[in-house]
Amino acid sequence: MEIREDRKDGVLVVAPVGRIDSNTSGELERRLLQHLAGGETRLIIDLQGVEYISSAGLRVLLLVTNRVRPLGGRLVLCAMGQSVREVFELAGFTTIFAIVGSRDLALARLAGPA
Amino acid sequence: MVEARRTLLVAGSPEGIRRAAGDLDAFAAVNRLPAAAVWPFQVVLDEMLSNIVHHGYEEQGGGSPIEVQLELGEGVLQLTIVDDAAPFDPLGAAAPDTTRPAEQRPVGGLGIFLVRKLMDDVEYERRDGRNRLVCRKRLPA
């Protein structure tokens, strides 16, 4: 799975492309945990390019959000398509994450002094 | 509709799961099914195959190829998964508590829960020493 990365205003944006499933979620987990270990505290996961997500993907996002908060960090998810949104809603995950409609909104949310 | 039915033999490995996803995509493409119709089946396939491979087969040290059948007819897509791992009835599993905060969320059971919610119909039976799961969903008009 391609994982695109961008940095803006001190915020790291990670954008996986394709499907986040049992096959690809491991790679996403490794990448995100690597960033946390490297000291990233403001993270956006842009889901625009994600076709669908299965529970393997949800587990990775849950793991990352549970790691980021004790570190004093913040994570925002953005640009979910319909399929990703539906899975989040069914799993009751919409209450766990900060979710906004676009990357710009996510950046606005995390911008400014940490 | 061009291809009404396809049977896959899926190796019980991550590579097998990856190929099955590709085969489902190919079946959908041949039948010109839109992405909105296919993704729920991709998720269900991933959930069930992962369960079989990482729980069922791992515990018993392997298993025969998993049989996956795709059938399209009368506006309904049907997915049948047959495996010879230990008896496992996904319909018997308790639903996860989806109201607890992140730190208290259990991770088990979520996949099966999604399967039940994403499909219109899910039926399970244990037959001839194999688990047999049939999932159906009406395709969007």
Query: How much is the ipTM here?
Result: 0.94
At CA A104, angle to CA A99 and CA A107, rounded to 5?
75
Among B12, B19, B3, which residue's Cα sits nearest to residue B63? Answer: B12
Q: State the pLDDT at residue B63.
A: 77
> pTM value?
0.94
pLDDT score recorded for residue B92: 82
| Cβ-Cβ contacts under 8 Å for B74 (sequence gap 6 or more) | none
A9 phi, psi to nearest 5 deg:
50, 40
Domain count, chain A: 1
Residue of A75, A82, A15, A78 whose CA lies nearest to A52:
A82
Tell me which residue range forms the domain holding A40: 2-110
- Smallest Cα distance from B111 to chain A, Å: 5
Shortest distance, CA A77 to any CA of chain B (angstroms): 15
- pLDDT at residue A79 in the model: 98
Q: Which two tokens stand for residue A49?
A: 């390019």
**pLDDT digits 0-9 by tens, B8-39:** 999 999 999 999 999 999 999 999 999 999 99
Q: B16 lies in which domain range?
A: 5-138
Instruction: Confirm or reject contact between B49 and chain A (CB < 8 A).
Output: yes
What was the pLDDT predicted at B62? 75
Q: How confident is the model at residue B61 (pLDDT cuts 50, 70, 90)?
A: confident
Please indicate whether residue A3 or residue B101 has the higher confidence score (pLDDT). Answer: A3
Whether B41 contacts B24, CB under 8 Å: yes
A66·B103 Cβ contact <8 A: yes
Q: Which amino acid is at A56?
A: A
**pLDDT for the residue B107:** 64
Q: Specify the CATH number for the domain of residue B55.
A: 3.30.565.10
How many domains does chain B divide into? 1
Interatomic CA distance for residues A43 and A33, integer angstroms? 11
CATH code for the domain of A67 = 3.30.750.24
Contacts of B23 in chain A (CB under 8 A): none
